[in-house]
Amino acid sequence: MALEGCVGSLRSSMQLLDSSISILDEATNDFPRLSKVLQTTRHFELISEPDLHAAQSSLLSEIRPEVEALLTRVQNYLDKLERREQSLMAKCDLNDGRLGTADSNPESAFTPKSRASEAPNGKPMSAIQEMKFKQLKAKKQRLSYAVETLELQAKQRERQLRMSMAAPYQVGYED
């Protein structure tokens, strides 16, 4: 009988162990999924402040020369556009002046022959003299236009020379 008590106690212990194993199986069945769910992913990495400053200065040293070169190109282009604008304004003024002198000239192609055939001293001119007079007048206008054009070109070249002489000094002061 003593043996039967031991067997009964052993059976109850085994049942208890079986129920414990089934409970543990049910409880730990979800562990692989939970380990994936609870796994942390680092989206941002923290770095030290000296490392950050070193990276910033490295980036700055790489970018600064390119930015300065681009700024220089932009400034040169703006200077070129300004010179072109001044040249176009001077050309416009020259053309306005030419048109103004043509408009203020009373002896134009639309004047009657009686006034055009008179010399500046009031005496009538022959056809040859009239043709020579018109040729001389046209030549005078062409020459005055050529002189004005040459003066504008000289002024423009002076500006370019001043700009080219000033450019090395401006670059030296930017550093």
What mean pLDDT is predicted for residues 150-168?
82
Confidence of residue 174 (pLDDT cuts 50, 70, 90): very low
pLDDT at site 62: 93
pLDDT at site 169: 57
C-alpha of 23 from chain center: 72
pLDDT at site 135: 87
DSSP state string for 61-130: HHHHHHHHHHHHHHHHHHHHHHHHHHHHHHHHHHHHHHHHHHHH-SSSTTS-HHHHTB-TTS-B--HHHH
What mean pLDDT is predicted for residues 15-31?
91
Asked if pLDDT for residue 97 goes beyond 50, the answer is yes
DSSP classification of residue 29 = T
pLDDT at site 109: 44
- Residue 163, both tokens: 């700009």
Which residues, in sequence order, are bridge partners of residue 118? 124
pLDDT at site 118: 59
What mean pLDDT is predicted for residues 76-92?
88
Q: Mean pLDDT of all residues in the chain?
A: 80
What mean pLDDT is predicted for residues 115-131?
69
Asked if pLDDT for residue 111 goes beyond 60, the answer is no
pLDDT at site 117: 55
Nearest Cα residue to 153 out of 78, 71, 91: 91
pLDDT at site 60: 92
Confidence of residue 11 (pLDDT cuts 50, 70, 90): very high
Answer with the residue of higher pLDDT: 44 or 55. Answer: 55
